[in-house]
Amino acid sequence: MAMISVQNLVKERKYPFIFALAILLVSTTIFFLYSNNFQSLTFSLGDLQKSNRTTSKPSQNATISPDTTQKVDDANDNTKSDDSNDSNSSNDYENNNTTITNIDSNDHNNLLIVDLKIKWVACKGPVAVDYIPCLDNFQAIKELKSRRHMEHRERHCPQPSPRCLVPLPNGYKVPVPWPKSRDMIWYDNVPHPKLVEYKKDQHWVIKKGDFLVFPGGGTQFKDGVTNYINFIEKTLPSIEWGRHTRVILDVGCGVASFGGYLLDKDVITMSFAPKDEHEAQIQFALERGIPATLSVIGTQKLTFPDNAFDLIHCARCRVHWDADGGKPLMELNRILRPGGFFVWSATPVYRDDERDRNVWNSMVALTKSICWKVVAKTVDSSGIGLVIYQKPLSSSCYEKRQESNPPLCEQQNEKNVPWYVPLSGCLPRLPVDSMGNLVGWPTQWPDRISSKPPSLTTLSDAEEMFIEDTKHWASLVSDVYLDGPAINWSSVRNIMDMNAGYGGFAAALIDLPYWVMNVVPIHMEDTLPIIFDRGLIGIYHDWCESLNTYPRTYDLLHASFLFRNLTQRCDIIDVAVEMDRILRPGGLILVQDTMEMVNKLNSVLRSMQWSTSLYQGQFLVGNKGFWRPK
Ligand SMILES: C[S@@+](CC[C@H](N)C(=O)[O-])C[C@H]1O[C@@H](n2cnc3c(N)ncnc32)[C@H](O)[C@@H]1O
Ligand SMILES: *[C@@H]1O[C@H](CO)[C@@H](O)[C@H](O)[C@H]1NC(C)=O
Ligand SMILES: *[C@@H]1O[C@H](CO)[C@@H](O)[C@H](O)[C@H]1NC(C)=O
Ligand SMILES: *[C@@H]1O[C@H](CO)[C@@H](O)[C@H](O)[C@H]1NC(C)=O
Ligand SMILES: *[C@@H]1O[C@H](CO)[C@@H](O)[C@H](O)[C@H]1NC(C)=O
Ligand SMILES: *[C@@H]1O[C@H](CO)[C@@H](O)[C@H](O)[C@H]1NC(C)=O
Ligand SMILES: *[C@@H]1O[C@H](CO)[C@@H](O)[C@H](O)[C@H]1NC(C)=O
Ligand SMILES: *[C@@H]1O[C@H](CO)[C@@H](O)[C@H](O)[C@H]1NC(C)=O
Ligand SMILES: CC(=O)N[C@H]1CO[C@H](CO)[C@@H](O)[C@@H]1O
């Protein structure tokens, strides 16, 4: 490119050009002086220079060019574009008086920052530091006609999504690292003392100086959780923790010590409980580095696929399984794998008063009607009893029932993803492959993670695609993600894959001391059955709403090509607010997307005072700091 000398320009009388150049210079300087992003901008420039520039050839995935000049545009210069139309087009995002239209990705090889001029505010109110928009909608809860079925613990999302950032509790610190965190967490990070008193006799949690300590007690674990776990396997050896049984659900998990200790046995547990009077139980679990989510057996289906869990556990979990014609238990039947077990540890199993006896009799009738078989019933040395049921492996029992009550579900209608779907009163048919054969139990763990998933379609290229996907993620994770300088992996424990696909990202991390919550967005292809088949855990979610988790519960969020699809339905600003909410200060995001999406997201994150950088021309690495608005 020819050098442009000022002398030449003057000679050629290109005054307008000089004038424009001067304005650009002055305005850039003013921007740098006045931008409170100044420090993070320079940080990012340094980082960009560090990352690979040599390997990249120009492609659709923007790459880093030798010129690392930051391109900073003012929104006002950018509102006109090819298909400019002042109505709300899906590619635009708006925030009061700032609109960004079609950032042209091919032109910009670096992060483009638009100053959004958003004035962020802190969330207000009594629960601000623990705010969960869809669970803390007190207005909607107040208007509920009934609370008998736990409606007040279900999701009621505020419209529009609140655009505030959650404040930090006083004295919040970087969490205690795993594995120490399983046994102790900072009190200041989750300053909720009620369970210490309330469950004192059951040894759930103790306050010791600056820490909350978890000795592994629970309502049903009088001799400690390890003994309890071993007792279950001794009662029914075919459970084979960590071989036959890999993915389980703990209903009404308390502080999730059961799931936390099963990790020692290579079992991964989705622990859940509602946000109820067991104050902050799920927040404790996640701060401990144990997989958990907020959920409730209420009026709606759980957000898990059919036939997902190898085993479901409930220890005095306070659910009336036989209520409403047995719909709550039939929900467990739906998500339990054929041949899977339900371990129920509760007083009706071993106490002989009238109330318990009535519940027991009702359970006998209900489990018989859905063809569950009692495979064990026992009492341990401390006097606590449990019963283990098994879901049928074949349909013959369904057909042999004298009365078709509950009825089998219609063949078609149950295919939809369970997202705000009421509990059902019918029995789903057992899954069959395209040849009509019943789908079998997955391969034993650990081979299971890379074996062909039983629910993979039998389309000719499905298995090939699955193998390709596994390879793609294995190499991306080992060559790029783990190798990258921008991420300190030793500060990571709780990971969320926001758009998990087949779970390849989680699979590639399986030998490392992390766990991954695999989210399958409800508008994407339904791959969650495959994730469970592989022995991983996951959940359905709509990223246009808030997730059922407390603030600051994840260390790293990963998103691969999520945002284009999402921004067809909601504003990327709202998604970024939710990412900021669930990520702890010091936490990281790793996003791969088109440059258009990366630039949009980046501008929002910068406005929230995150530091960000582009790695290898296509991965946005973001680091949330401790900054909060006043
Ligand atoms: C007595 S505690 C038992 C905790 C734990 N399973 C143990 O044995 O230590 C009861 C648990 O059930 C949960 N729970 C209550 N109602 C529930 C519902 N409808 N669905 C799911 N969990 C529920 C509570 O939040 C609490 O975690
Ligand atoms: C980045 O550069 C280093 C050294 O220059 C090289 O070893 C590595 O393979 C590169 N990474 C990628 C993904 O190209
Ligand atoms: C702008 O968009 C609206 C709604 O999508 C459409 O009705 C209108 O014709 C568009 N105008 C132009 C100039 O494209
Ligand atoms: C744009 O969206 C806003 C709310 O998101 C709505 O109030 C307004 O009517 C929309 N404008 C057009 C032209 O569709
Ligand atoms: C745009 O918004 C900012 C902050 O919200 C405000 O200070 C400014 O006056 C607004 N400009 C216009 C033209 O409305
Ligand atoms: C947008 O404007 C309204 C009033 O014009 C103001 O109350 C609100 O705080 C603004 N939002 C942002 C994010 O600046
Ligand atoms: C990485 O994180 C660990 C644990 O939080 C910390 O001890 C270490 O100093 C960090 N390393 C760097 C280079 O920041
Ligand atoms: C993207 O979202 C739309 C609905 O907004 C959906 O119909 C489509 O299937 C989604 N695309 C992909 C690749 O999942
Ligand atoms: C190497 C790599 O990740 N390439 C990606 C480039 O972007 C397209 C979508 O635009 C992806 O499909 C590729 O995987």
Q: What's the rounded Cα separation, in Å, for the pair 311 and 229?
A: 13
Which pLDDT score, from 0 to 100, does residue 18 have? 52
Which pLDDT score, from 0 to 100, does residue 172 have? 97
Q: Is 163 in the pocket of ligand 6 (CB under 6 A)?
A: yes
The enclosing H or E element of 578 equals helix 572-582
- Mean pLDDT (the chain, rounded): 85
Return the residue whose CA atom lies nearest to atom 1 of ligand 6: 96
How many angstroms separate the Cα of 384 from the Cα of each of 222, 232, 346? 8, 12, 8
pLDDT higher at 414 or 198:
198
Ligand 9 centroid to Cα of residue 61, in Å, is: 6
Yes or no: is domain 222-400 CATH 3.40.50.300? Answer: no
In the three-class reduction of DSSP (H, G, I as helix; E, B as strand; rest coil), residue 314 is classed as strand
Which pLDDT score, from 0 to 100, does residue 290 have? 98
Which region among 222-231, 263-272, 411-420, 451-460 has the lowest average model confidence (pLDDT)? Answer: 411-420
Please give the average per-residue pLDDT across 186-202, as a whole number.
92
Rg (CA), the chain: 27
Residue that the structure tokens 């909060």 belong to: 628
Q: Is 180 in the pocket of ligand 7 (CB under 6 A)?
A: no
Return the residue whose CA atom lies nearest to atom 7 of ligand 4: 88
Please give the average per-residue pLDDT across 166-192, as a whole number.
97
Nearest-atom index, ligand 6, CA of 117: 14
Nearest-atom index, ligand 1, CA of 218: 9
Ligand 7 centroid to Cα of residue 54, in Å, is: 29
Which pLDDT score, from 0 to 100, does residue 50 have? 30
Q: What are phi and psi of 178, to 5 degrees?
A: -70, 145
Ligand 5 centroid to Cα of residue 74, in Å, is: 14
What's the farthest any 2 CA atoms get from each other in the chain?
104
Mean pLDDT: which of 59-63, 87-91, 208-212 is highest? 208-212
Do the beta carbons of residue 96 and residue 510 sit within 8 Å? Answer: no
Q: Is 87 in the pocket of ligand 4 (CB under 6 A)?
A: yes
> Residue 593: nearest ligand to its CA?
9
pLDDT digits (tens, 9 = 90+) for 278-299: 989 999 999 999 999 999 999 9
pLDDT at 76 > cutoff 50: no
Please give the average per-residue pLDDT across 468-478, as a whole number.
97
pLDDT higher at 100 or 236:
236
Which pLDDT score, from 0 to 100, does residue 460 have? 75
Burial class (CB in 10 A: 0-12, 13-18, 19+), 233: middle
Ligand 1 centroid to Cα of residue 273, in Å, is: 6
Q: Is 60 in the pocket of ligand 9 (CB under 6 A)?
A: yes
pLDDT higher at 37 or 177:
177
How many angstroms separate the Cα of 9 from the Cα of each of 2, 12, 22, 27, 257? 13, 5, 13, 21, 74
pLDDT at 549 > cutoff 90: yes
CA dihedral 432→433→434→436, nearest 10 degrees, is -40
Q: Is 61 in the pocket of ligand 9 (CB under 6 A)?
A: yes
With the most atoms of ligand 5 within 8 angstroms of its CB, the residue from 97, 98, 120 to mutate is 97
Please give the average per-residue pLDDT across 20-29, as a whole number.
54
Return the residue whose CA atom lies nearest to atom 13 of ligand 8: 524
| % of residues, the chain, pLDDT over 90 | 72
Which pLDDT score, from 0 to 100, does residue 232 have? 97
Mean pLDDT: which of 7-21, 77-91, 137-151 is highest? 137-151
Q: Is 402 in the pocket of ligand 4 (CB under 6 A)?
A: no
Q: Is 491 in the pocket of ligand 7 (CB under 6 A)?
A: yes
Return the residue whose CA atom lies nearest to atom 4 of ligand 6: 96
Q: What's the rounded Cα separation, in Å, for the pair 575 and 217?
A: 38
Nearest-atom index, ligand 2, CA of 51: 1
In the three-class reduction of DSSP (H, G, I as helix; E, B as strand; rest coil), residue 352 is classed as coil
The two beta strands, 247-251 and 309-315, are parallel
> Residue 276: nearest ligand to its CA?
1
Q: What's the rounded Cα separation, in Å, for the pair 422 and 461?
A: 35
Burial class (CB in 10 A: 0-12, 13-18, 19+), 107: exposed
pLDDT higher at 41 or 190:
190
How many angstroms separate the Cα of 17 from the Cα of each of 9, 25, 185? 8, 12, 61
State the DSSP code for 156: -
User: How many Å from the N-terminal Cα to the C-terminal Cα in the chain?
Assistant: 49
With the most atoms of ligand 7 within 8 angstroms of its CB, the residue from 490, 493, 514 to mutate is 490
pLDDT at 87 > cutoff 60: no
Do the beta carbons of residue 448 and residue 240 sit within 8 Å? Answer: no
CA dihedral 280→283→287→293, nearest 10 degrees, is 150
Please give the average per-residue pLDDT across 1-12, as a whole number.
46
Return the residue whose CA atom lies nearest to atom 13 of ligand 9: 61
Residue that the structure tokens 């909608």 belong to: 137
Do the beta carbons of residue 391 and residue 342 sit within 8 Å? Answer: yes
pLDDT digits (tens, 9 = 90+) for 484-523: 767 999 999 999 999 999 999 999 999 999 999 999 999 9
pLDDT higher at 279 or 14:
279
pLDDT higher at 340 or 1:
340
| % of residues, the chain, pLDDT over 70 | 82
Q: Is 119 in the pocket of ligand 6 (CB under 6 A)?
A: yes
pTM of the model: 0.78
State the DSSP code for 436: S
pLDDT at 71 > cutoff 90: no
Return the residue whose CA atom lies nearest to atom 13 of ligand 2: 480
Return the residue whose CA atom lies nearest to atom 14 of ligand 9: 61
The enclosing H or E element of 11 equals helix 6-11
Residue that the structure tokens 């459970």 belong to: 239
Which pLDDT score, from 0 to 100, does residue 8 have? 53
pLDDT digits (tens, 9 = 90+) for 30-65: 444 443 333 332 223 223 223 322 222 222 222 222
Please give the average per-residue pLDDT across 576-587, as a whole number.
98
* CATH number for the domain running over 41-53+69-80+91-167+446-630: 3.40.50.150
pLDDT at 308 > cutoff 50: yes
Q: Is 88 in the pocket of ligand 4 (CB under 6 A)?
A: yes
**What does the domain layout of the chain look like in residue ranges?**
41-53+69-80+91-167+446-630, 222-400
Q: How confident is the model at residue 27 (pLDDT cuts 50, 70, 90)?
A: low
The enclosing H or E element of 587 equals strand 583-592
Return the residue whose CA atom lies nearest to atom 12 of ligand 8: 524
Q: Is 564 in the pocket of ligand 8 (CB under 6 A)?
A: no
Return the residue whose CA atom lies nearest to atom 23 of ligand 1: 252
